[in-house]
A and B are shown apart, each in its own frame.
Chain A
């Protein structure tokens, strides 16, 4: 039974629960918008990294380089889309 619950994955799960609790601070505590967004960005991206490395086994095989390059590429395009949109649709008018 014990070998079915590897330490690495249990730690990954506990860590992701802890990150969720930290993110919840922005709801339960009073803080500035900038402070709250900083906490959310940090916890969300660490959470995503935990999933990728611990649970999705992204770095396990010889395709490691291709997999990470592809994920970074996807994330880069997504970020350019999001911030480019914000720049042209919201911030550009202020």
Chain B
């Protein structure tokens, strides 16, 4: 295996570099996926039927908590990758663990929010608006849920095998995924919640 020692661990093999590029291409497809969800959301946002509108059901407090928690988790996983590049395995694992706990907190608030919506009569079948709202939020939430399991397994693998070109590569790719989820949330925060409450 050819190793290029001028690069960080995750980029050292050609295979590793290609995997990172490949994951960026996947993220490009994810951007398009969320693009279609936003297109549907903007089309259906005023089709509230006899159900509630966004302004009536959105609450600023849980949304702010979710935003701050996810922004912070994106910061801590960035610190985790920085620690990984310094070869500080323990610090990296701590930052990854904090990231996953914040992700779990985000998911907790989002589940509370969903239960609340259904409770006040804004379920998946109430109107076109609630359907696309819960589908858009749910797709993002599902990505976070998947990320929590993925991140947990990465964490366990680094703990067991240490920092190698393979585990570093996997950790870096996971960090890309996690940052991407934060970017998607920023758009949900801006164009679903803030626009809805404006």
Residues of chain A at the chain B interface (Cβ within 8 Å):
3-6, 9, 12-13, 16-17, 20, 23-24, 26-27, 31, 33, 36-37, 40-41, 43-44, 47-48, 51-52, 54-58, 61, 63, 66-67, 70-71, 73-75, 77-79, 81-82, 84-86, 89-90
Chain A residues whose C-beta falls within 8 Å of the C-beta of B187 in the assembled complex: 44, 48
CB pair B194–A26 under 8 Å, yes or no, is yes
CB pair B194–A23 under 8 Å, yes or no, is yes
Q: List 29 A-B contacts (CB under 8 A).
A: A6-B79, A9-B75, A9-B82, A12-B78, A13-B71, A13-B72, A13-B78, A17-B68, A27-B60, A36-B195, A40-B191, A43-B190, A44-B187, A51-B74, A51-B183, A52-B179, A52-B183, A55-B77, A55-B179, A56-B179, A58-B24, A66-B21, A67-B21, A71-B24, A74-B28, A74-B30, A75-B31, A86-B43, A90-B42
Chain A residues whose C-beta falls within 8 Å of the C-beta of B60 in the assembled complex: 27
Nearest neighbor of B185 in chain A, beta-carbon distance: A47
**Is the C-beta of B27 less than 8 angstroms from some C-beta in chain A?**
yes
Chain B residues whose C-beta falls within 8 Å of the C-beta of A24 in the assembled complex: 64, 194
Q: Which of B38, B39, B75, B186 has most chain A Cβ within 10 Å?
A: B186
Tell me which residues from 33 to 73 in chain B have a Cβ below 8 Å from any Cβ of chain A.
Answer: 34-36, 38-40, 42-43, 60, 64, 67-68, 71-72
Chain A residues whose C-beta falls within 8 Å of the C-beta of B30 in the assembled complex: 74
5 smallest beta-carbon distances between A and B, as pairs: A78-B35, A74-B28, A74-B31, A85-B39, A13-B75
Residues of chain B at the chain A interface (Cβ within 8 Å):
7, 11, 17, 20-21, 24-25, 27-32, 34-36, 38-40, 42-43, 60, 64, 67-68, 71-72, 74-75, 77-79, 81-83, 86, 88, 91, 175-176, 179-180, 182-183, 186-187, 189-191, 194-195, 197-198
Nearest neighbor of B78 in chain A, beta-carbon distance: A55
Chain A residues whose C-beta falls within 8 Å of the C-beta of B39 in the assembled complex: 81-82, 84-86
Also in contact, A79 and B35, with CB within 8 A (given A4-B82, A20-B71, A36-B198) = yes
Which residue of B24, B31, B194 contacts A40 across the interface (Cβ within 8 Å)? Answer: B194
